[in-house]
Amino acid sequence: MRTTTVRVPAKINLSLGVGPRREDGYHPLATVYQAVDLCDEVRATEVDGDSVSVEVHFDGDGWREQAPVPTDENNLAVKAALALRDAFGVKSGAALSIRKVIPVMGGMAGGSADGAAALVACDALWGTGASRAELEEIAAGLGSDVPFLLHGGTALGGGRGEEVSPVLARGRFHWVFAIADHGLSTAEVYAGYDARHADAPPPMPEVPPTLLTALAAGDAAGVGASLSNDLQPVALALRPELRDVLAVGEQGGALGTLVSGSGPTVMLLAEDADHSAQLARMLLAEGVCVDAVQATGPEPGAHLI
């Protein structure tokens, strides 16, 4: 049986500006995405017949299994395969297998990553020959973060996050991710954001110019000082204990510390690999998270291996 395997990174938002809720329920975003080396793998194998199935395997640490991942058509990898099949009139099926490393409901777009990976894997397996633009269009229909996870690297996200454009970024960044013992619902965090702005809608979001300058220069300290996330106050209100994680970052001399996306994962920017190991040890010693995972970025987006 033929098989294709795709590796796909998690995403973080170096800045996440969120505007007023649109009529379609989405929020306008101005964000800078970065793909980091915390990767899921999605394998697509040929099957007899036209079924698309998925199984999910968790690697190593028990915390990865704490949140449920659907193994039916609600799994974003299955949705992606079905959307590609519909778009190209494919008659074949596929057995998908996900090796899950990205924290589930962690604000790192793990489900979207699997969707992007399934698009690339099934395109290769079925010989669809989809163009980059066609894959991006299907990706945007699956979720706001999915186009970026095809793209990878460091990029600007506009619209509701699906309009991805390259940004000049130099350097390699050393991150530590403080993993929480249970996830946060993205929908709940956005609902909290709307409630906070019920009386005065937030302004249209912008990316901080200082962040773009620091990225262009490969200036890690400048990037750390410019990290921002409009959703952080909501995540902190829902999970006050995340303040303890931010405090460890500060004590440990992190260049910047921020809640990742809708949380509850917190990201700490380290000076180098040694500092990253030191911050990870501090987080674990203080007992403020269930795991502290070191990863670098930027990484390429979903790609065949």
**Residue 67 CB, nearest approach to ligand ATP (Å):** 6
Of residues 153 and 252, the one with the C-beta less far from ligand ATP: 153
Binding ligand ATP (rule: CB under 6 A), the pick from 145, 162, 291, 299 is 145
Give the E-state strand segments of the chain in sequence order. Answer: 3-18, 29-45, 52-58, 94-100, 154-158, 163-166, 173-179, 228-229, 256-259, 266-270, 291-297, 303-304
Which token pair is 150?
A: 């095809």
For residue 259, how many other CB atoms are within 10 A of its CB?
Answer: 29
What angle separates helix 273-286 from helix 242-251, to the nearest 10 degrees? 140
Contact between 256 and 220 (Cβ < 8 Å): no
Query: Which residue numbers are catalytic?
Result: 11, 145
The nearer residue to ligand ATP, 107 or 256, going by C-beta atoms, is: 107
Pick between residue 144 and residue 276 the one whose CB is nearest to ligand ATP: 144
Segment interacting with ligand ATP, rule: CB under 6 A, options 68-76, 131-139, 250-258, 290-298: 68-76
Q: For ligand ATP, which residue of 18, 69, 255, 270 counts as binding (CB under 6 A)?
A: 69
Q: How far apart are CA 242 and CA 256, in angstroms?
A: 15
What track of x and - describes contact with ligand ATP for positions 245 through 284 (by CB under 6 A)?
A: ----------------xx----------------------
List the one residue out of 146, 88, 163, 63 whose CA is nearest residue 112.
146
Site for ligand ATP in 24-63 (CB under 6 A): none
Q: Shortest approach of ligand ATP to residue 134 CB, angstroms? A: 22
Residue nearest to ligand ATP (CB): 111
- DSSP, collapsed to helix, strand or coil, labels residue 100 as strand
The mark string for 83-122 relative to ligand ATP (x by CB under 6 A, - otherwise) is ---------------x-----xxxxxxxxx-x--------
- Pick between residue 149 and residue 246 the one whose CB is nearest to ligand ATP: 149
**Does the footprint of ligand ATP cover residue 76 (CB under 6 A)?**
yes
In angstroms, give the least distance from the CB of 63 to ligand ATP. Answer: 13
Which residue's CB is nearer to ligand ATP, number 183 or number 249?
183
Site for ligand ATP contains 75 (CB under 6 A): yes
Q: What is the DSSP letter of 48?
A: S
Cβ pair 16, 229 in contact under 8 A: yes
The H or E element spanning position 221 is helix 220-226
**Measuring CA to CA, which residue among 9, 8, 17, 28 is closest to residue 226?**
17
- Are the CB atoms for 286 and 168 separated by under 8 Å? no
- Placement of tokens 């300290």 in the chain: 221
Interface residues with ligand ATP (CB under 6 A) are 68-70, 74-77, 98, 104-112, 114, 145, 186, 261-262
